Amino acid sequence: MHAFSDSTTATPTAVPVPPSLSLPMIEAAFPRQLHPYWPQLQEKTRAWLLEKRLMPADKVEEYADGLCYTDLMAGYYIGAPDEVLQAIADYSAWFFVWDDRHDRDIVHRRPAAWRRLRGLLHVALDSPEDHLHHADPLVAGFADSVTRLYSFLPDSWNSRFARHFHAVIEAYDQEFHNRIEGMIPTVEDYLELRRLTFAHAIWTDLLEPSAGMELPDSVRQHPAFRRAALLSQEFAAWYNDLCSFPKEIAGDEVHNLGISLITHKGLTLEETVTEVRRRVEDCVSDFLVAEREALQFADLLADGTLWGTQLAAAVRACVGNMRNWFSSVYWFHHESGRYRVDSWDDRSTPPYVNNEAAGEK
């Protein structure tokens, strides 16, 4: 089928959505929004990738816009101040490049290069200003984006973000070893690890600078808020698994919900696609319930005081952007060249990566 996505390209086009990936509920009940800063965002993130040498100039020229990394963030963090959205978009673009480096280190069997990078990222996360001019562009780019993210909210938020991303780095290390050793995690282990490799907590943390306020622990840990946040992230991770299934099978991946289901539950390929799709659809319907409860919670916070009014508004902004994540993720997977495996010369080697990335050759 085809669906009009209100594409962010100059001329909106019909984006083909295969029936197995089509979610009519998203298309009907989750209208797509786009931050008005998006055109500048795309231009500046493209320039940032060049400035920080995170992608070769020819790759940036040919692929950066088509990968739609800025579209994804501009569809999620609606209402964020322009400088906050720019920092988030650059960090997100860095994250994708890091993911590609991690993949190439695995494919080319470069454990020493990965260990070195892993250690440097841990250190740079705690002292980014000291790594702004590091020789490895991936470390310097990370330090630059993190320094900017740390400038918006108090140190308590920065410490939480760092704690959450340290865990992401370690999860990537676990994935590295799983893939090198051909270890396919059980479904339960995979779901736990996926919450870290997808960085559920990070994208949820970034809702707060977008809303202009660090939320108190009592709000972030409230069951209604936590459930809505988790469902938005689970949807994204599992829909990503559904869409990237062909790419990851071609690349001898071991980290995909579908691959774990086939290996450990004995499902056929057809049964696996049906099961992953069921989980994705359940996230959507369950979110609609959680969203109502989270907004009711926001109403209770509006107790007539200035603080209560501001806090309730921030919670509503965060919950609204949790909703935006569904449509942004959905259309990203059908617009981005990151998932067009059938158009690649080599289905196991994305054309937008530097296949001779820094590290052991």
β-strand partners of 4: 14
Annotated catalytic residue, options 95, 142, 165, 297: 95
CA–CA distances in Å: residue 38 to residues 44, 211, 262: 10, 17, 40
Please name the residues in contact with 278: beta carbons below 8 A apart, sequence gap of 6 or more. none
297: left (phi over 0), alpha (psi -120 to 50) or beta: alpha
Residue 7 gets the label, from left (phi > 0), alpha (psi -120 to 50) or beta, of: beta
3-state helix, strand, coil in the chain (%, to 5): 70, 0, 25
With beta carbons less than 8 A apart as the criterion, state whether 337 and 72 touch. no
338 is known as an active-site residue: yes
Separation CA 258–CA 242 (nearest Å):
7
What the block records as the tokens of 271 is 């049964």
Active site residue 198: yes
Q: Which of 79, 84, 66, 65 is nearest to 33 (CA)?
A: 79
225 is catalytic: no
Q: Which of 30, 32, 46, 96 is catalytic?
A: 96
| Separation of alpha carbons 81 and 49, rounded Å | 21
Encoded amino acid at 304, one letter: G
- Out of 152, 176, 198, 235, the active site residue is 198
- The two tokens of residue 313 are 């508004």
Among the listed residues 269, 265, 264, the one whose alpha carbon sits nearest the alpha carbon of residue 245:
269
DSSP per-residue codes, 215-256: PPHHHHTSHHHHHHHHHHHHHHHHHHHHHHHHHHHHTT----
Give, in order, the Cα–Cα distances in Å from 139 to each of 48, 115, 201, 333. Answer: 14, 13, 21, 27
The backbone region for 183, taken as left when phi is positive above 0, alpha when psi lies in -120 to 50, beta otherwise, is beta
Catalytic: 4? no
Catalytic residue numbers read 95-96, 198, 338
